Amino acid sequence: MRWIEVADRVYARRYEELDQTLGLVIGDERCLVIDTGTDEHHGAEWAAAIRGLTALPWTVVITHAHWDHFFGTAAFGDAPVLAHPRCTTEMREHGGVQAEKWAAKYRVDGRDEVAERLLSARLVLPTEEIADSVEVDLGGRVVSLVHPGRGHTDNDLIAHVPDAGVVFAGDTVEQGAPPSVGEDSYPLEWPAALDTLLGLDPRTVVPGHGEPVDAEFVLAQRAEIAGRSDR
């Protein structure tokens, strides 16, 4: 576990488990937490790490409805939780199924404790839904939450910090491994979603898994996804 300060008061926190990257943006009056981790144990560590940097009230955004990005939300108490409407639906209808599937995988790998933590995590649903885009005022700093279109899922949100030139991409971008194309992905539309991200002219892009990257990396990943889709 380690912090990376990618810009002034804009942080990524890296985890060895799943090579995951969570995000934090601090304003003058509030902070924005980007994803909450894999379970309540992970979420509690993440919340404590944030409190080591700031005591400001927090708002949470869930970048998409995959279990490793939202099962730590209970650690953030009654904070507002923002997500795409389809993210809420997917979490409600399939969050438990995802947990059971991955818990079974952890048990096969001999990681019973991790499996039990996942199965015992409470599902906290979003409190506010963003179908297109919204600006979140943190006090002296605004973060834009944008649905870039269908790509990694049909419910992705990215978080743009314009004064810092940073975009938190969720799993629309992945570093250290090929982009994860699952049954709920839209590879034919994913390049257009990345075009939306690149249109924000970011200096730094923070993926949901892996190290922060630049726009050139995203362009290369866009070409890779488009190449897969052409076959």
CATH number of 52's domain: 3.60.15.10
- Whether residue 47 lies inside any domain: the answer is yes
Integer CA distances (angstroms), 98 to 9, 37, 60, 69, in order? 33, 14, 21, 12
Q: For the chain, what is the domain count?
A: 1
User: Does residue 210 belong to any structural domain of this protein?
Assistant: no
Tell me if 58 is assigned to some domain: yes
Nearest to 210 by CA among 182, 178, 166: 178
Instruction: Note whether residue 145 is domain-resident.
Output: yes
In a domain, 70, yes or no: yes
Residue 160 structural domain: 2-164
The overall pTM is greater than 0.95: yes
Contacts of 93 (CB under 8 A, 6+ apart): none
Walk along the chain (231 residues) and give the pLDDT tens digit of each residue.
Answer: 999 999 999 999 999 999 999 999 999 999 999 999 999 999 999 999 999 999 999 999 999 999 999 999 999 999 999 999 999 999 999 999 999 999 999 999 999 999 999 999 999 999 999 999 999 999 999 999 999 999 999 999 999 999 999 999 999 999 999 899 999 999 999 999 999 999 999 999 999 999 999 999 999 999 999 987 654
Alpha helices in 35-80 (DSSP H): 40-51
Element (H, E) at 59: strand 58-61
Give the largest CA-CA distance in the chain: 50
pLDDT at 231 (0 to 100): 47
The verdict on residue 150 lying in a domain is: yes
Determine, yes or no, domain membership for 90: yes
* Residue that is written with structure tokens 């700093």 in the block: 141
d(CA 88, CA 73): 13
Q: Are 15 and 48 in contact (CB under 8 A)?
A: no
Distances (CA, A) of 162 to 7, 30, 59, 115, 166: 11, 17, 18, 39, 7
CA–CA distance, 163 with 166 (Å, rounded to integer):
8
pLDDT at 41 (0 to 100): 98
Residues 6+ apart with CB under 8 A from 163: 141, 142
